[in-house]
Structure 1
């Protein structure tokens, strides 16, 4: 199978050509240092680490969902420190205004003129804590930043720094006083990762690190092990990862299957899916799989990359029906059934 997906002569790669062994070795070394720095602060949570790295390399945004206290904020700030990037945390509340995020103009009485003050979204890594507590108006203000990587203040365009990545969190168990994210905005996130409770050994390790001062309120910042220039180079290399036509057809077949689950899996499962994934799902698989290949030290995508990412890419892009919610059917159940039904190349 390796020979099928390893062709070095793909015209879609452009003049730069496929990644060389030297470039892959350098990328693996940088990612290894970042992963080591991440693990020095965040105990366990290997899936979260992979999701953050894939999202960063694919130039996307990630939605993290879990109950409080599972190190989502720590994971975000640690990743930013590891690559020597600017980090900003925004606590979303119902009274948060769009100008509190993107910035506003403030009148200076000494100079008798308005000056622009950029908001906290103008950072490399922006953590939107409990995004579903922000009002719909404030949530919509984030769309331009996430999609266009710019903000508009008083008619003036302000580009966001590069790299730019939004890490949004939401608490699934407290729905009072929250605003459900619209499906169109959920689609803007490349991945949605569910953060699970740590294992027993990991939770014991947390206590040990708090005891020796490694973790806690007074823990020291970690030293940067990479730069934003390294991140930009990795992102450029992701664009040169080879994707075989068979893999592309596999991605399209999977996404199209989510739109016609009834025909593929029968009326019972078909009744659980109200809306399937849009073409953004195909794009997300394509971009995330190339990033996953670099994280795994390869210059080509294999079907296992797609399967590894299936829940993170699709769980927020499949809209379940009321019947599915009543029967407590999870999106992952439907996704797994679709992957079993679509032949793997």
Structure 2
């Protein structure tokens, strides 16, 4: 398998800087998810790792070897596209056999590799069918199988389940994660869907406007976001932001004044210590609150703020309540 290192990578398209001085280490056998909104540079990064695009600056190392200027065919990396890219005139078997035959494999070796991949992906019953006869989920399994038979050093997947409906996406998330556990290959997965990223990745890499925003485990990203973009982007809905000023009180420690409602509330001791340590008393800050950390009550009590209910969205197992705070 493979360790992939990106050093100070820059990619430009005319005046647009698609990837801006990116440094990233992807460890051997890791499942790393590149996450961000459309146009953030994640697919361009994936294409540079594969060799389909070349960086304007920086280096790409594969197991310690500089492959920055090597063609894609010489990197021993498999790329799975969102739109499957299956040959319509070939059967599933022939599609999976194609990369092996181009590498010079014949006969029993081809049969053995296809049989193993088909068993792993549960597509043995469709090997004689053509792509037009398959459902979207099966076509994606075939595309994965075609990559799998090559036994590459790393797998690159560009929004591979983005075109499937919600039920199939949920099934394929589970299957892709199990596949990674079974084969142990280094995997880099691109998505704009945070549910995919948080449920599948060992490590999540968040990008925005070509810049790396944060790298960490799903838990680290969620509970300790590096900046306002990450805090708002991760979570459904994202984090709430309220302007505030920390106040020092000799008897109660540090409290927070919410400027929108002119209300002082208490905060946990760990936050009090952090504010004192960073010397942020009497300085304007932004308080971030996750929606699930808010409780709605119908009478005033300590540590509450008055709000006006704006709209309630019913989503089955839970509701999302939008409230107006101050102005």
TM-score by length of 1: 0.31
Higher relative contact order (CA 8 A, sep 6+): 1
TM-score by length of 2: 0.32
Max Rg structure: 2
Structure number with higher strand proportion: 2
